[in-house]
Structure 1
């Protein structure tokens, strides 16, 4: 069994401030270690369930956060950003049995995580077919495009609830809840234990149907924080203005949505 892990940091147990997620700040060192430990726990859980190979995409900011020497020897690590439209899922393909997500966070416009956002802080909301979407929304659909089910996610309470509603049978571990600029988190040691046990249980069951619903046609709307961002993005071929701060793009092929997002949101 071959397993893919997309690893983020803003849903890591204990996190509460942007300083802890930014590599240029001293606080980041502690939280890159905690992020790494949660990824290792997921790897160990996958191994216990029979995984022979685990591929990890370091999917936060620079793509260079995980402490490599702590990763198990049966893993491969994808670092940095290739420019491929799969972005946080880069490296996944039809050969994988399942996708896992660690350190995931709620979408922009929600208040259950002080670090809630979608893709970057220039975006106030990102909508797919009229529904406000998270990074997980696009990543789970990306995996489904390769026929890979999304089986497990760890992250904040809001993200876990959304993921379970989107993907039938997906297992979650709630690491933290947030209000305003504060977070209320379980202990990192407990998070790692629950992640390890949760991944093992999820991969030991029947997860073939853990796929999100797909559509015949997709429209993505990006609401930016400023009108100047929307003006620039509207020059992408096929994109159109969608109000003073927003741009829209539609296509029947979801991979074209991902391709457009690669250029629209930069």
Structure 2
């Protein structure tokens, strides 16, 4: 079995403040290790379920967060950012049996994590066919474009609830709840145990039931926080400036949505 893992940090058990997610800050070292611990738990669960090949994407910020020394031989890790449109699932293709998401967080506009965002802090909200979308929504659908089912997610309670609404029945592990600028978190050791067990269940079950295929056409709407960003982003081929800091892009090929978001969201 070949498994893809995409890992972020803002949904790691215990995390609360941006200082803990930023490489230059002293607090980062602790949460880099906690992020790595949750990734290792997911890898252990995958191997116990029969995975023989795992591709791991370090998908937070610099893409250089996960401590790599103890990764098993069956793991290849994608570090840094190539600029490829698949972004947080770079290198995924039809050869994978499932994709897992660890450390994921609530979408931009949600109040369930003080670190909530979608791709960057200049995005007030991203919608796919009218549905407010998270990084999980975007990248799980990208995986579905290649017929790879999204079977597991760990992160804050808000992203777990969103994932379950989008993909009913998939395995989730809620690590924390955001309350204003604070969080209430489970213990990291408990989070790791739940992740290992949840991944094992997810990969041992009916994986095909959790395939998120893109719609026949996807309409992406991007609501910017900066009043000047939409104008610039509207020059992407096919994009429309709707006013009120909003750009729209529609396409029948979801890869083109991923290509567009790479340029529009970075505006």
Q: Shorter-normalised TM-score: what interval?
A: over 0.9
* Structure 2, unpaired ranges of 5+: none
Matches of 1:71 and 1:26, distance apart in 2: 24
Structure 1 segment 23-62 matched on structure 2, within 5 A: 23-62=23-62
Deviation at 1:218, TM superposition (A): 1.0
Which residue number in structure 2 is paired with residue 202 of structure 1?
202
Which residue number in structure 1 is paired with residue 16 of structure 2?
16
Q: Deviations over 1:59-104 (max 9, x none)?
A: 0011000001122222110001111100000011111100000000
Matches of 1:106 and 1:201, distance apart in 2: 24
- 68-77 or 35-44, which deviates more: 68-77
Which residue number in structure 1 is paired with residue 88 of structure 2?
88
Matches of 2:90 and 2:257, distance apart in 1: 15
Equivalent residues, number: 266
Q: Deviations over 1:175-195 (max 9, x none)?
A: 000111000000000000000
Matches of 1:208 and 1:113, distance apart in 2: 30
Q: CA RMSD in A?
A: 0.9
Q: Is the 8 A contact 2:145 2:214 kept in 1?
A: no
Q: Is the 8 A contact 2:147 2:213 kept in 1?
A: no
Q: Is the 8 A contact 1:40 1:72 kept in 2?
A: no
TM-score, scaled to structure 1: 0.98
Deviation at 1:228, TM superposition (A): 1.0
Which residue number in structure 1 is paired with residue 65 of structure 2?
65
Which residue number in structure 2 is paired with residue 153 of structure 1?
153
Q: Is the 8 A contact 1:227 1:246 kept in 2?
A: no
Q: Is the 8 A contact 1:168 1:209 kept in 2?
A: no
Structure 1 segment 1-266 matched on structure 2, within 5 A: 1-266=1-266
Deviation at 1:213, TM superposition (A): 4.9
Matches of 2:180 and 2:169, distance apart in 1: 31
Q: Where has structure 1 moved over 2 Å in runs of 4 or more? A: none
TM-score, scaled to structure 2: 0.98
Deviation at 1:141, TM superposition (A): 0.5
Matches of 1:232 and 1:164, distance apart in 2: 35
* Structure 1, unpaired ranges of 5+: none
- 167-176 or 151-160, which deviates more: 167-176
